[in-house]
Structure 1
Amino acid sequence: MYAAVVRSFDEPPAYDVFPEPAVSGDGEVLVDVVAAGLHPRVRSSADGTHYTSEGSLPMVPGIDGVGRTSDGELLYFVAPDNAVGTMAERAVVDRRRAVVLPDGTDPVAVAAAMNPAMSSWIALRRRAQFEAGGSVLVLGATGNAGQLAVQLAKHLGASTVIGAGRDPERLKLLTTLGADEVVDLHSPDDLAKSAADVDVVLDYLWGAPTEQAMPALLHARSDRARPLTWIQIGSMAARELTLPSYLLRAAALTIIGSGQGSVPAQDILAELPALATLITSGDLAINPRLVPLADVQQAWTKPTSPGERVVLIP
């Protein structure tokens, strides 16, 4: 079969021939891949920098996708661990890691949105003790996952959602997606004024932006004993930061992570049907860009527009 094949962590995947995966266990089925999203998580696997990377090459990237069985079922699925990735003509699906999509579903929208939407959906529903009426700050709200986080926080009942980022054009876009307020991260003081008393922070950035935002928010809180849950989801700015110890003593701050390994697989899978239903409802703003799988090398390096997610079509 043809697939996107990584033969060096220093180069983009190339469209090439790769051995077709074989079904090997109960509950597995071979599907024709209909669409697979090019997510940041996919990129980090393909360049060997993701924390789950084992450094084995060659490999086919892709962690999820939409595929069709020989019986005509349309499935959204998360690729089994250590399996051939989803950026290929065919993939093996473990039905325990898949949901059946209803007739009329747009497979491209699902492939584009499920992975980035899952990051905030799982964080709010499985990691934070978030309740309707709470308030949420999204750090890195101008990225694809951050834009969806703004929309999903509102959907889950947040009374106030604040989007923070550094791209003026993308910040303006957030106000059309449900953000009650947007803040430029170049000004920690403005962030503190707007978001000092939020209940949850969804952090897609880490590094220097978080180093600046965290003390600014905590110093400005009207009641430092009021719990603040800071959820580390992404590291778009940096993988590390310096955390002054006094911040953990001076306020009721809880720092947790949300991602592969911190949430049981069965909990993630339990959330897929509801999230798939929401995505297929058309209530979320999703902006996929279709690219033929044969053009994967060019798609890998071409910049995307605000809110756009590349979806590869075999």
Structure 2
Amino acid sequence: MKAAVVREVGQDPVYGEFEEPVLREGEVRVAVTASALTNFTKVRATGRHFSVAPRPPFVVGIDGIGRMDDGCRVYFLFPRAPFGGMAERTVVASAQCIPVPDTVDDVTLAALADPGMSSWVALETRAELVPGETVLVNGATGTAGRVALQVARHLGAERVIATGRDRAVLDSLIAQGADAIIPLTDDPGRLTAALREEFERGVDVVLDYLWGPPAQSLLAATNARKSRSPLRFVQIGSAAGAELALPGSVLKATDLRILGSGIGNVAVGDIMRIIGKLMQAAATTEFFLDVQTHPLSRIGELWPAASVTPRTVFTVEAPA
């Protein structure tokens, strides 16, 4: 079968032949139609992700949309190595497949799965969002951050705040559900004042996709909170840096709970349950997504520059 294959450690995937998957007990076979490129997929393909990476040769892609042998259209997650989502066919544990609504197309569902899941998991299982609370999304101008604003609103957030560097995209988020925007400017005083104003007004949950200096500035402003309830700060991504300096005074000034959200602290069963909710929500809620599609046959030429913002989805043609 045709697939996007990493043949040696450190090499980009290429489009070529790979062995046909053979079913094992408890598995289903899926004829793949669409698989989105995610940061997880790109980093895991290099062997540098903290999760266990398969040894070459292997097929890239951690999830996708397709049809099982019985014709049921499904979303699937974490195929059995060395198989992956970017192939004509893959195999996955039956518990890691869920039916998807017929009213939403394959590309949209494939593109929505990762960013929608990351924010929904963070809000429901890590922050335990209560309807009526205020959510601040730090780094809301990327695909994941933009979807996070919409998911927060869908889950009952009364007020949603967005930060980001891309001013044009940031301005557009008002029409997509943001109540307030804060530009991440190079003027420390102006940024701190804007953040402190929002924390004084009241923030209950922070979803952080940036870490590094932007998160450090944000945490330094949390002492402006007047609420005695805990502020749940959920770290999801590290687009602005892998580390930050956290003064002890920040932890003493407010009831602050710093949490991570990822596959290391959320069970796969919980992830699948929430993706199921997300897929059904997509049938009744319009999530704004910037998506570009390409045939899987172009994986070799597009991989080095392929983007997660806008979300790149590779489509798979049915074999002749």
Residue 207 of structure 1: how far off its partner (Å): 1.3
**Residues 63-212 of structure 1 mapped to structure 2, 5 A cutoff:** 63-80=62-79, 82-186=81-185, 187-196=191-200, 197-212=202-217
Q: Distance in 1 between matches of 2:286 and 2:19?
A: 39
Q: Distance in 2 between matches of 1:61 and 1:53?
A: 13
Q: Distance in 2 between matches of 1:308 and 1:54?
A: 25
SS in 2 for 1:175: helix
* Residue aligning to 2:303: 300
2:223 paired residue among 219, 222, 234: 219
* 1:30 correspondence with 2:29: yes
* Residue aligning to 1:266: 269
Task: Identify which range, 48-57 or 178-187, moves more after superposition.
Answer: 48-57
Change (3 A) 1:195 1:299: farther
Q: Is the 8 A contact 2:45 2:53 kept in 1?
A: no
Residue 201 of structure 1: how far off its partner (Å): 0.2
What do residues 192-220 of structure 1 show as CA deviations (whole Å, max 9, x unaligned)? 2234420000001111211121112x232
* Residue aligning to 1:254: 257
Task: Identify which range, 104-113 or 277-286, moves more after superposition.
Answer: 277-286
Gaps of 5+ in 1: none
What do residues 254-286 of structure 1 show as CA deviations (whole Å, max 9, x unaligned)? 001111021122222222221111123352112
Task: Identify which range, 171-180 or 81-90, moves more after superposition.
Answer: 81-90
Q: Distance in 1 between matches of 2:158 and 2:72?
A: 39
Letter paired with 1:32: A
Gaps of 5+ in 2: 186-190
What do residues 58-77 of structure 1 show as CA deviations (whole Å, max 9, x unaligned)? 32211110111222110101
Q: Distance in 1 between matches of 2:140 and 2:28?
A: 37
2:312 paired residue among 305, 310, 313: 310
Q: Distance in 2 between matches of 1:178 and 1:309?
A: 20
Q: Is the 8 A contact 2:79 2:85 kept in 1?
A: no
SS in 2 for 1:298: helix
* Residue aligning to 2:2: 2
Q: Is the 8 A contact 1:110 1:280 kept in 2?
A: no
Q: Distance in 1 between matches of 2:224 and 2:310?
A: 35
Residue 84 of structure 1: how far off its partner (Å): 1.5
Indicate the percent of aligned positions where both proteins have the same amino acid.
41
Q: Distance in 2 between matches of 1:9 and 1:206?
A: 29
* Residue aligning to 2:290: 287
Q: Distance in 2 between matches of 1:175 and 1:298?
A: 36
What do residues 166-208 of structure 1 show as CA deviations (whole Å, max 9, x unaligned)? 1112112211210001111122332222344200000011112
* Residue aligning to 2:188: none
Q: Is the 8 A contact 1:288 1:311 kept in 2?
A: yes
* Residue aligning to 1:47: 46
Q: TM-score normalized by structure 2?
A: 0.91
Task: Identify which range, 102-111 or 119-128, moves more after superposition.
Answer: 102-111
Letter paired with 1:126: T
* 1:61 correspondence with 2:60: yes
Residue 48 of structure 1: how far off its partner (Å): 2.3
Residue 304 of structure 1: how far off its partner (Å): 4.8
Change (3 A) 1:195 1:15: farther
Aligned-CA RMSD value: 1.9
**Residues 226-245 of structure 1 mapped to structure 2, 5 A cutoff:** 226-245=229-248
SS in 1 for 2:118: helix
SS in 2 for 1:5: strand
* 1:12 correspondence with 2:17: no
Task: Identify which range, 79-88 or 206-215, moves more after superposition.
Answer: 79-88
Q: TM-score normalized by structure 1?
A: 0.92
Q: Is the 8 A contact 1:292 1:313 kept in 2?
A: yes
Residue 3 of structure 1: how far off its partner (Å): 1.1
Q: Distance in 2 between matches of 1:68 and 1:13?
A: 24
Residue 288 of structure 1: how far off its partner (Å): 2.2
